[in-house]
Amino acid sequence: MNFDTVIQSGTVVTAADTVVADVGIKGGRIVALGTDLPPTGAKVVNAEGKYVFPGAIDVHTHLDMPFGGTTTADDFESGTTAAACGGTTSIVDFAIQYRGDELRKGLDTWHGKADGKAAIDYAFHMICTDLPIARLRDMDKLVDSGVTSFKLFMAYPGVFMVDDATIFRAMLQTKENGGMICMHCENGGVIDVLVQRALAKGETAPKYHALTRPMTAEAEATRRAIALAEMAGVPLYVVHLSAGDAMEEIRKARQRGVPAFAETCPQYLFLSYEDYERPGFEGAKYVMSPPLRPRGNEQRLWEGLANNALQVVSTDHCSFCMKVHGKGSMGKELGRNDFSKIPNGAPGIETRVHLLYDGGVRPGRLTLNRFVDVIATTPAKLFGLYPRKGTVAVGSDADLVIFDPKKRHVISAESHHMRVDYNPYEGREITGRVEQVFLRGEQIVTDARFTGKAGHGTFLKRAPSGQAALGLTAG
Amino acid sequence: MNFDTVIQSGTVVTAADTVVADVGIKGGRIVALGTDLPPTGAKVVNAEGKYVFPGAIDVHTHLDMPFGGTTTADDFESGTTAAACGGTTSIVDFAIQYRGDELRKGLDTWHGKADGKAAIDYAFHMICTDLPIARLRDMDKLVDSGVTSFKLFMAYPGVFMVDDATIFRAMLQTKENGGMICMHCENGGVIDVLVQRALAKGETAPKYHALTRPMTAEAEATRRAIALAEMAGVPLYVVHLSAGDAMEEIRKARQRGVPAFAETCPQYLFLSYEDYERPGFEGAKYVMSPPLRPRGNEQRLWEGLANNALQVVSTDHCSFCMKVHGKGSMGKELGRNDFSKIPNGAPGIETRVHLLYDGGVRPGRLTLNRFVDVIATTPAKLFGLYPRKGTVAVGSDADLVIFDPKKRHVISAESHHMRVDYNPYEGREITGRVEQVFLRGEQIVTDARFTGKAGHGTFLKRAPSGQAALGLTAG
Amino acid sequence: MNFDTVIQSGTVVTAADTVVADVGIKGGRIVALGTDLPPTGAKVVNAEGKYVFPGAIDVHTHLDMPFGGTTTADDFESGTTAAACGGTTSIVDFAIQYRGDELRKGLDTWHGKADGKAAIDYAFHMICTDLPIARLRDMDKLVDSGVTSFKLFMAYPGVFMVDDATIFRAMLQTKENGGMICMHCENGGVIDVLVQRALAKGETAPKYHALTRPMTAEAEATRRAIALAEMAGVPLYVVHLSAGDAMEEIRKARQRGVPAFAETCPQYLFLSYEDYERPGFEGAKYVMSPPLRPRGNEQRLWEGLANNALQVVSTDHCSFCMKVHGKGSMGKELGRNDFSKIPNGAPGIETRVHLLYDGGVRPGRLTLNRFVDVIATTPAKLFGLYPRKGTVAVGSDADLVIFDPKKRHVISAESHHMRVDYNPYEGREITGRVEQVFLRGEQIVTDARFTGKAGHGTFLKRAPSGQAALGLTAG
Amino acid sequence: MNFDTVIQSGTVVTAADTVVADVGIKGGRIVALGTDLPPTGAKVVNAEGKYVFPGAIDVHTHLDMPFGGTTTADDFESGTTAAACGGTTSIVDFAIQYRGDELRKGLDTWHGKADGKAAIDYAFHMICTDLPIARLRDMDKLVDSGVTSFKLFMAYPGVFMVDDATIFRAMLQTKENGGMICMHCENGGVIDVLVQRALAKGETAPKYHALTRPMTAEAEATRRAIALAEMAGVPLYVVHLSAGDAMEEIRKARQRGVPAFAETCPQYLFLSYEDYERPGFEGAKYVMSPPLRPRGNEQRLWEGLANNALQVVSTDHCSFCMKVHGKGSMGKELGRNDFSKIPNGAPGIETRVHLLYDGGVRPGRLTLNRFVDVIATTPAKLFGLYPRKGTVAVGSDADLVIFDPKKRHVISAESHHMRVDYNPYEGREITGRVEQVFLRGEQIVTDARFTGKAGHGTFLKRAPSGQAALGLTAG
């Protein structure tokens, strides 16, 4: 038994277990866990008193994404570098099909964006905006090529929104091809009417973004998406769930045996509507959809994460600078006089693991095992990446995080790696720190500094997500 | 790296993961998991194509228990031998305090019953029947000595039943000492009235046992036990939950953040009220409390197991022969003319793992991981045995089951190891078989034959169950 | 005190009370209730041993309605004659706005259909199919002219269906003008996909009408309509609710204080999916939307009627002959080879009161008071007709039914007054019979024979329905 | 048609209707309602612009009741006089069986207390504290003599509390004799433990009365009582329901068809836990069981009253002076140094109707009809007094209240008629006033002054309550 690397004496945490063990790595994979693995000839990393987590997986990112005349601030290089520093070793980003285009064209464009730039492994979901009956079979081809999940929108009429018949047809298609539908659940029709009425009344400040997107509009759409999936007989994955009432719809569906799943994001757990009322235009930092919810709602989400009403925490990382981007395009300023023009989205790819440990595990809201489950294991299982990714087990990729539970640091735009001029959690002190990160056995973060390189990340061809989700249903 | 034993190439299953790996054992513990552990000098067991499960844990057994003039058919020798053959390597049996006695006296008696006879490891819960205020502090001493859970009865007035004030006081005491209350939830007062009325009408056949113990009497008591625990601010563990409505009370409690847990048993998943209507006195085989429920109820329990409304499957093994026991005492015949005199209980310690795999995993009701979770990991975690027991992980006791998922066999009293003259599942064909079983590294079942020995089992001093349960709550 | 008519010694039933009393009528109105009203000079009707109910109100009828190339079989003359014979003295029919037309034009058309033909009093709801923003204010004018409720469709894409933004805008308009939105709740998008797929598979028989309109599609749309109303802050009235799951959405909304109301119809209480499986083309008789539901569902509706999850029983009377209408247009035969071409609807205006008494009151599912409430009082209160209509009280119109609870008769197309060649309840024996009916004091049914005349009915200008509904909410 | 009295032009309100009408009274009963009743020879009372309500019924009073060494301050004379002034014309008081006594003895005692003293009509429930099997049949005799409801306690161990078996037996007995069980739902065992612990800690102030009677203890007992009634197959009436969670148990029971009913009282609608924190010993005024609940809870009760989760508002009038009673016995002062010794109860018999109109009807929480329903009609129907009492209908007793909706007054101990030295609502201004009250046609309140006399009230022999309750279930 010889190893390329041995991580010694760490507390290895999986979704089920917490044990002290050495981890032996060879050829980029974990080949042994043991009490005293022989270090001869291996690089030895001491992890005593530290946690060894599986590399986290972020199944909701938007890198290098065009949006209303601008582009997100982070491309695949800056975004994945920041992810790595935050303990994330795989992402699933959203490729976009624009109206009139083939699905394949959108996917090719996104491959072009990521290729040679990603510092961590990556996969794609496909956003579909145009699915006439004749194009449904194109979905099958994507599944064959490892893009096994499709995102549809119930919001943004005229841009991304598709009608219920289209959603239902797409679901029936994934029933055949094993893919899975991911859904943005907000009632876009209602929201548009509310936005128009607000603007007509001169209500243009950032907070009206939230006030025109009621929680009920999300709960309704969530219930509708579940009903469609139930009638189609397929699994459903609800993205960026924000409202407690929407969560109850997921819970009720699961109780009656419907394979419905949902992710929430740190912003819904740590921030609240009150942030929109910050002075001046500062509220624009928090303009995202769904919006932040009133204080008190986050407690429901925490409980839902603990008792499995929610299954995943991802980021919906979608960064726009407040001022001008490095690339020269406009940022949030676009909407200074009209909240509806503020680019929707906020950065988060780098802060998820730290926030969830500090605010979830430390105060006892989540066990260590549940924490690993929601940031790594379940995402991997739902999206066809398991067991290659998502756990610390013999045979899995050696994507590992060594985490010091005692070290403190402060979140700040000054020190973060994301290419954006603010951080929603600016000044928050965090206990616990990602110290070392390994991707397929190579160390890409060393003592909390990025030591990997662009292009090291590879495209992950995923197994069918829908089938994986069904497999997860019983338990 | 050298090992006493290497189990090669099995599919190792934990509550979270399923991976092919070798398992290296030394000094009775698992010291390595790896892709190619060096077999030099070790006993090698080939597990290719087979599952390697953690040894199962049965947290609800009644061995060598006196009951209404007779004694259960299985003592610690026959019971634990049968358990081993069924893939169970640890039990938690119930020691009984009789009225007027000290708790310690009951515990000593049960130590005497087990000592030198058990073929697998064992621990004790303490049944309390007499808890005046002055005796509450005796509970603390038991917790200190590793008996960290206490069972109380809401049924059997005049025998085991205690009133709500007593339950509440005991709960407040475990809040201080870290123990946990396990509860038999049936409304004994109502049941007694119904039994008296049935007998007065000449309704004496076994089926009246079930007809006088309505599901509502169980749901009510479950709700009450939860309310008491909620007011006391302590975790609760409901034993042998049988009715879907009772399960809903557990689910609702958990949803509002109350640390309530429940086990069900294979009899409630595989048998039904209809078994009481078998010809002659055969229904007596199924007389247990709570009774079997009408067909349809089991489906609710299966769904609850999958989605975590229920957390554990144990057996409530409590065996009485139909005719005369080997020891000479009477069996179920005692109640031939009066169902209320039929000894309550049925054998099951040997069949749990096989039934749950065949009827739960194979048809897709439970994932492999959830199966391991409910028979081993969660019981270990709830009752202070984890991580020594309940998982396949570095550092844990080498309690392992090698399970052939394809081999078939038939359940029968003729071949089972329990000392009882019938089997409730007689003739049921099972796919999947416990082939090899290891207890702390020693092989005690070989090719499905018992090769261990009485007295090899040791007493397990448990960590505080209540604290463990609270730790499990968040996730 | 002198009267035109005195109804003596009947058991007068209101939504709250059941008392023996004489009813004194003068000038078309009830002017006294008493123990011994002086009969001098009055027409005297002996009602001893009989019930005196308020004339029933049917708030959901489609008379003389064009539909897919044909017209409903009953016009305002035959339809209201049949209604009278069934104990109904007021209807609210649906006027239709066709795409591109003004609302007023549709209303005028329907006034033309009813004027001079109706044998009982009538009012109109307005079906809106085309509501651009510029036309929203036209709704206000209708409210001013006594047409105070608007029906929108979530089904029938391309024909009646409007999108969520339109619904929401209409709701906001009724918030201002005091009207109320009545909603057909089925997800038309999903249903269309299912219909297309069924036809593509050659599934053309009548039963596929039901199999392509799942209960979940109704529950979803009901939930959505409630959410929209909740966000708009207005009352909602769900028409022809058929599925138990849809009813639960109403109940939950009411429990959290949302003023949501729903009607069901006798067909959903007395018939079931199994009727579609009748031999040959007979199932076509029951093709209506929503369709009949599987047996067992009706029990949930009965319970909902009793405990106020449902508030009204109307008929959705929409009659099509199986063969050729008297007017020469085609009937259900249109869809012999394609269920989707079968005209949707069934006759029921004549049978509601008899069915509900026989199947609801007699077996104890509804009290007499609740029966009166759901067929007369609550409909009158919700739709702005109370206290002129809907009760037996001093000052109300003398619309009265004398009902013999013991007399039996058999429902049959041979004897009914509707102009349609079948009766969905053919051969059903009914205990209880409408014997005498008075409309504003004039006797229009005498000994169960129609003795009124076409044109006697007058248009009822209604008070704002939405305001009335809000007034009803508290209790 | 001639009358003793004609009440002219009032707005007559029943549980269903609101109409302007004259009311004609003769021989103590209502003999006519009409638009222009001939006043010749009759006493004429002008009620134009005023409401005419049925005399209210208070089904929960404790007059002249011994309690822990003292006696309630109001006897049947002062209590019923106060009731009359508050618009209440009938009460159902609680006769008590003490341990060891026959039921009949307790009833006779209470007949003695009321006879010749009551100013309004009265009936009795029977409190049973001692129900050995041999005495169950005595319940039948009471039903025969018009005492058709029995109250049992799940609280006050050692005083009133009976165990579940006793409750269940009593329920089975009422199933046979048509009576009904009224239940005080609080878990007495838990409460006693909490009280002992509080006192041991020196927590003696009045607020600890509330802090030792948690809402969960009420919800639990309510759920248990429902379960027992469900298993017995009988209706249940829960008295003085105070906690929203307890109400949810009633609602859920009703939804699944269980005939469960509950009353709440004005104190739970208008006061709150915060009143216990008043300075000094003032909190003692509010010591009653169940205790006042935290602010916010009352909103749930109001909604429950509106949507029929609750059916009745009674008072639980049980008055103790703060200082010394007129009769010389001690009042609340008994518990100055120990909250558990404060006599439980508060006065309310006089203020119910005023409070409920002012705080319920005026702000739109209850419709006028629902208001009449919960204070008069449903109590009469549930407890076998309808149609003699509880409505304004031909044939009913002329128990009538003329209520001026505009007149204002202030509640104060200085002006109230109850013989108690404080009023829980001291200083509250009320809009709306009971002006005239008639009992069986005789005016007992005139221009808000008592003009009746002691002894005018008669004992009301009631029809079986359980049968009445079952009749009410369907609707």
Q: Test B1 with A33 for CB contact under 8 angstroms.
A: no
pLDDT of residue C329: 67
Question: Is the backbone peptide bond immediately before D290 cis, with ω within 30 degrees of 0?
Answer: yes
Residue C383, pLDDT score? 98
Q: Do C393 and D38 touch (CB under 8 A)?
A: no
Continuous segment of H or E residues that includes residue B23: strand B18-26
Contact B14 A17 (CB under 8 A): yes
Q: Where are the beta strands (DSSP E) in C14-109?
A: 18-26, 29-34, 43-46, 51-54, 56-61, 66-67, 70-71, 88-96
- 3-state DSSP call for residue B361? helix
Q: Chains A, D in contact: 3+ Cβ pairs under 8 A?
A: no
What's the ipTM?
0.95
Say yes or no to pLDDT of C69 above 80: no
Alpha-helical (H) ranges within C43-117 are: 76-85, 103-114
Contact predicate D416/D82, CB 8 Å: yes
Q: How many CB pairs under 8 A join B and D?
A: 74
Query: Are the Cβ atoms of B163 and D228 closer than 8 angstroms?
Result: no
| Rounded-to-integer distance, Cα B402 and Cα B394, Å | 17
Question: Which residues in chain D have Cβ-Cβ distances shorter than 8 Å to B216?
Answer: 227, 230-231
| Touching chains, B (3+ CB pairs < 8 A) | A, D
The helix or strand, by DSSP H or E, that contains position A53, with its residue range, turns out to be strand A51-54
List of residues 6+ apart from B106 with CB closer than 8 A: B95, B96, B97, B98, B126, B127
Minimum mean pLDDT range among A241-250, A412-421, B63-72, D410-419:
B63-72
Q: Which residue of C has its CA nearest to D301?
A: C255
List per-block mean pLDDT (blocks of 10 residues) for chain B, which spans 475 residues.
95 97 98 96 97 98 90 96 98 96 97 98 97 95 97 96 98 97 98 98 98 98 98 98 98 94 98 97 97 98 96 97 74 94 96 98 96 98 97 98 98 97 98 98 98 97 92 70
Chain B contacts of D166, Cβ < 8 Å? 189
Contacts of C234 (CB under 8 A, 6+ apart): C171, C172, C174, C175, C180, C181, C259, C466
Sort out which chain C residues have CB atoms less than 8 A from D369's CB and list them. 16, 475
Strands, E assignment, A129-265: 149-153, 180-184, 236-238, 260-264
Distance from CA of B471 to the nearest CA of A (A): 7
Judged against a pLDDT cut of 90, whether residue C91 lies above it is answered with yes
- φ/ψ of residue C116, rounded to 5: 80, -5
What is the rounded distance in angstroms from the CA atom of residue B31 to the CA atom of residue C347? 78
If you average pLDDT over every residue of chain C, what do you get? 96
* Contact status, residue C394 vs residue D32, Cβ threshold 8 Å: no
**CB count in 10 Å sphere of residue C69:** 10
Please give the angle made by the CA atoms of B411, B413 and B418, to the nearest 5 degrees: 100
Host H or E run for residue C450: strand C449-450
Closest-CA residue of chain D to B163: D189
Note whether B touches D: 3 CB pairs or more under 8 A.
Answer: yes
> What does the block give as tokens for D146?
């018009």
**Closest chain B CA to residue A392:** B17
In this prediction, residue D472 carries a pLDDT of: 80
**In the structure encoding, which two tokens stand for residue D447, read together?**
């221009």
Closest residue by Cα to residue B146 from B459, B448, B473? B459
Per-residue model confidence (pLDDT) at position A328: 61
Separation of alpha carbons B221 and B187, rounded Å: 6
Q: What is the pLDDT of residue A312?
A: 98
Structure tokens at B395: 């550092």
Amino acid at A84: A
Of the candidates C1, C19, C366, the beta carbon closest to that of D393 is on C19
Q: Which of B165, B193, B223 sits opposite D189 (nearest CB)?
A: B165
- Tabulate helix, strand, coil % of chain D (nearest 5): 35, 25, 40
CA distance C74 to C8: 35
Contact A219 C231 (CB under 8 A): no
Instruction: For residue B463, give both structure tokens.
Output: 């960590």
DSSP helix/strand/coil, C327: coil
Residue B81: which H helix or E strand, with range?
helix B76-85
For residue A475, pLDDT beyond 60: no
Cβ within 8 Å, pair B193-D165: yes
State how far the Cα of B189 lies from the Cα of A327, in Å rounded to an integer. Answer: 77
Model confidence over C102-157: pLDDT tens digits? 999 999 999 999 999 999 999 999 999 999 999 999 999 999 999 999 999 999 99
**The predicted structure's pLDDT at residue C415:** 97
Per-residue pLDDT, averaged over A192-199, amounts to 98
From residue C299, alpha-carbon distances to C266, C305, D166, D257, D346 in Å are 12, 10, 34, 11, 45
User: Binning pLDDT at 50, 70 and 90, where does residue C475 land?
Assistant: low
Q: How far is CA B385 from the centre of its chain?
A: 14
- Give the angle subtended at the CA of C51 by the CAs of C465 and C34, to the nearest 5°: 85
Task: Find the closest chain D residue to C364 by CA distance.
Answer: D474
Residues in chain A: 475
* Count of other CB atoms within 10 angstroms of residue C459: 16
pLDDT tens digits for range C402-425: 999 999 999 999 999 999 999 999
B231: distance to nearest CA of chain D, Å?
7
φ, ψ for residue D440 (rounded to 5)?
45, 45
B17 and A472: CB-CB below 8 Å?
Answer: no
Flag if D34 and C257 touch (Cβ within 8 Å): no
- The conformational region for residue B91 under phi > 0 = left, psi -120 to 50 = alpha, else beta, is beta
List phi, psi (to 5°) of C185.
-105, 95
pLDDT at C327: 61
Which residue type occupies A51?
A: Y
Q: Give A133-180 pLDDT, tens digit per residue.
A: 999 999 999 999 999 999 999 999 999 999 999 999 999 999 999 999
- Going along chain D from its start, the domains and CATH numbers come out as 55-383 (3.20.20.140)
Contacts of B38 in chain A (CB under 8 A): 1
**Nearest chain B residue (CA) to D218:** B227
List residues of D whose CB lies inside 8 A of any B CB.
157, 163-169, 172, 187, 189-190, 192-194, 197, 214, 216-217, 219-220, 223-224, 227-228, 230-231
Given a contact cutoff of 8 angstroms between Cβ atoms, the answer to whether A269 and A290 are in contact is: no
Contact C217 A230 (CB under 8 A): no
Q: What is the mean pLDDT of residues D168-189?
A: 98
Q: Which of D24, D254, D373 is opposite residue C307, by nearest beta carbon?
A: D254
Query: From CA C99, how far away is CA C103, in angstroms rounded?
Result: 10
Cα dihedral A342, A343, A349, A353 sign: positive
The sheet that has A236-238: what strands, in order across it? A56-61, A88-96, A121-127, A149-153, A180-184, A236-238, A260-264, A312-313
Cis upstream peptide for D206 (omega within 30°)? no
- Residue count (chain C): 475
pLDDT(C248) > 60:
yes
pLDDT digits 0-9 by tens, C142-170: 999 999 999 999 999 999 999 999 999 99
Identify the three-state secondary structure at position D293: coil
Q: Which of B2, B4, B17 to mutate to test the interface with A (most CBs of A within 10 A)?
A: B17
Count of Cβ atoms closer than 10 Å to residue C28 Cβ: 15
Residues of B in contact with D193 (CB under 8 A): 165, 168-169, 172
pLDDT at D475 over 60: no
Residue C150 phi, psi dihedral angles, 5° rounding: -130, 135
Q: In this predicted structure, what is the pLDDT of residue A326?
A: 63
Query: Residue C1: what pLDDT?
Result: 78
Tell me which chain A residue has its CA closest to the CA of residue C171.
A190
The confidence score (pLDDT) of residue C470 equals: 87
Q: Which helix (H) or strand (E) holds D416?
A: none
pLDDT digits (tens, 9 = 90+) for D345-403: 999 999 999 999 999 999 999 999 999 999 999 999 999 999 999 999 999 999 999 99
The pLDDT value recorded for residue C328 is 61
Round to whole Å and give the CA distance between D58 and D40: 35
Residue C474: per-residue pLDDT: 61
Residue contact D16–C19, C-beta within 8 A: no
* Separation in Å, CA of C302 to nearest CA in chain D: 9
B436 vs B449: CA distance, rounded Å: 8
Residues B124, B94: contact at Cβ < 8 Å? Answer: yes
C463: amino acid identity, one letter: A
- Cβ atoms of residues B129 and B162 within 8 Å: yes
Phi, psi at A149, each rounded to 5°: -145, 145
Which chain C residues are within 8 Å of D370, Cβ to Cβ?
474-475
Nearest CA in chain A to B374: A475
CA distance A286 to chain B (A): 29
Shortest CA distance from C233: residue in chain A:
A216
pLDDT given for residue D68 in this prediction: 76
Tell me if residue B317 falls in helix, strand or coil.
strand
Q: Per the structure block, which two tokens stand in for D363? A: 């702000």
Neighbour-count burial of D104, counting CB atoms closer than 10 A to its CB (0-12 exposed, 13-18 middle, 19+ buried): middle
Which of B19, B31, B391 comes nearest A35 by C-beta?
B31
Pairing mode, if any, of strands A70-71 and A88-96?
unpaired
> Cβ A303–B257 below 8 Å, yes or no?
yes
Task: State the average pLDDT for chain A.
Answer: 96
Q: How far is C49 from chain D (nearest CA, A)?
A: 16
